[in-house]
Structure 1
């Protein structure tokens, strides 16, 4: 199983869990909010901030016909796809400022591109890696475009069958991707805990000989910690300044104190795993005097 680096940070078994703070649509169309979220991600102990790079016009069309309306079973039910993407859109002219802010703070910044023009922009900005969103895992052209850059790739697997995951991995590797990771994902917002099947994380790693982790959309912080205990080497989680301010993704995103708590818990969880051991650890030495002992009190 291979490990790899993103901008000098080792990722994979034997290395600290790589924690990605997903900014997504939680900027509220204010650059200052996006910049603040980068600073919060750094302060929380995250390793990276992740953006989403697209234009509504390249994802869908401005139309209210049934195929372009969001159906039942999501938080965005009844809305037009075009309107949702317009609301969630991260202005392209912000990208340079966001990358520069991250660089100045010493936190990685990369993005999920949704078409080739987005890859072109991210290449100009010197992105250190690419993230393929679950919805784009079947877009082999996009995967190939990212792969030919030679940058590390992280791919989410929500909604994908075993065959679709294998095909995406093959496309990435056939087009030059030497450093790949896969994330278990349930593409529901929020995702039900009982559908997480976290055991899949290790199976993904074994099947595809690559690091594996979790892109999490459950509420709270329990599932990322559980995933870490099961061997996840990457954790991705949405975060926001304040859920009450609303936004397309705010309802399943963590607030700053919650995100920081998750990072701390993930670090503690990973540190606690260790290896099978029956040695007396240093912290226990002083407690040995409280054990039952035999002494001769008479000669």
Structure 2
């Protein structure tokens, strides 16, 4: 069976640094590189982070260490008014617009835009009210699972199953677990939800990637799986596709040396285009799993394979013994598997050495 085409997401994220012009340029860069989707982040800084929230170590390294997380987010916030020109540019360039909400108001805003799908980041996998609201709205979802255990992913899917299934039971832990056990509710998940494996570190060292966990989620939950890549370069994304990822998300930046929390874990447009090309080649190479000669091979079969030939001069009436027969190219004659069938038979005409028998 032919695998689905990999959905490639260019994660512009906050690499626009609050500039609409830069965000528009990222849409263009994603389209030029061959991405299917360009993704941003939609948040109200004050609704997302409290004054006491500290920055991650990688954010300290890549931004002003004295700046609070709230101040950083306020500087990187993309206003709701900027979404409309971005969506228009994406439509013009033939690429899908996607965003991740980080608070209820931002989710409501994105739902009002009637986007094809919503992406929820790893930090909100345990944010049950946000997940439940999204599921009740019937939105198609890509859910990142960084920092999570398999059990936490299952809990999140129970919340979603309850919301998608329209359960009459009031939301709560028991109701979510019951929804997870309900085959009808699980069918809603299969129609609406894809999971992304990722490791929440920027950039992520290869030894912390654990791509096998992506495969474990596919087995455990019978849902489409993909990989959100925070490593340097893009070779891990290629490995993920070879292992069955149907979605790849990779940060895109116009300049890896720019100031900001995510540029260092991003790739620039030329590398993004190379990644897209490599993924398409891998998809083509995986094929349908049926082991049979391809057309490009068939013409080489007579050249590469061998036929049974006379190993020495033979006369009519000779009885063939093991030393009378050899296997040599070309493969246009009797195949070598018939070697034992010829032993002990009598030849009916003369053969010169290397004549096909």
What is the TM-score with the length of structure 1 in the denominator? 0.88
Contact in 2 for aligned 1:99/1:125 (Cα 8 Å)? no
Q: Return the match for 1:68 from 22, 41, 53.
A: 53
1:140 matches 2:124 = no
Instruction: Using the TM superposition, give the Cα deviation of residue 18 of structure 1 relative to its aligned residue in structure 2, in angstroms.
Output: 0.6
**Secondary structure of 1:127's aligned partner:** coil
Q: Which moved more, 1:237-246 or 1:210-219?
A: 237-246
Q: What SS does structure 1 have at the residue aligned with 2:111? A: helix
Distance 1:251 1:290, change over 3 A: same
Residue 244 (structure 2) aligns with: 231
1:270 CA displacement: 1.6
Larger CA deviation: 178-187 vs 267-276: 267-276
Distance 1:140 1:121, change over 3 A: same
Instruction: Indicate the structure whose relative CO is greater, using CA pairs within 8 Å and at least 6 residues apart.
Output: 1
Counterparts in 2 of 1:132-211, with a 5 A limit?
A: 132-176=120-164, 178=189, 179-211=192-224
Whether 1:114 aligns to 2:102 is: yes
Residues 102 and 279 of structure 1: is their aligned pair in 2 closer, same or farther, counting only changes over 3 Å?
Answer: same
State how far apart, in whole Å, the 2-side matches of 1:278 and 1:233 are: 23
Q: State the Cα distance separating 1:148 from its structure 2 match.
A: 1.3
Size of the alignment, in residue pairs? 282
> Which entry has the higher C-alpha Rg, 1 or 2?
2
CA RMSD of superposed structures (Å):
2.0
2:226 corresponds to which residue?
A: 213
Deviation at 1:277, TM superposition (A): 4.3
CA separation of 1:28/1:297 partners in 2, compared to 1, >3 Å: closer, same or farther? farther
Match of 1:242 among 255, 265, 268: 255
CA distance in 1, matches of 2:149, 2:301: 54
CA distance in 2, matches of 1:241, 1:89: 18
Quickly say closer, same or farther: Cα 1:297–1:27, change in 2 above 3 A.
Answer: farther
SS at match of 2:231: coil
Measured after TM superposition, the shift of residue 198 of structure 1 is 0.5
SS of residue matched to 1:187: coil
1:9 is matched with which residue? Answer: none
Gaps of 5+ in 1: 1-12
Q: Which runs of 5+ in 2 are unaligned?
A: 165-187, 305-328, 334-350
User: Partners in 2 of 1:275 and 1:99 — Cα distance?
Assistant: 36
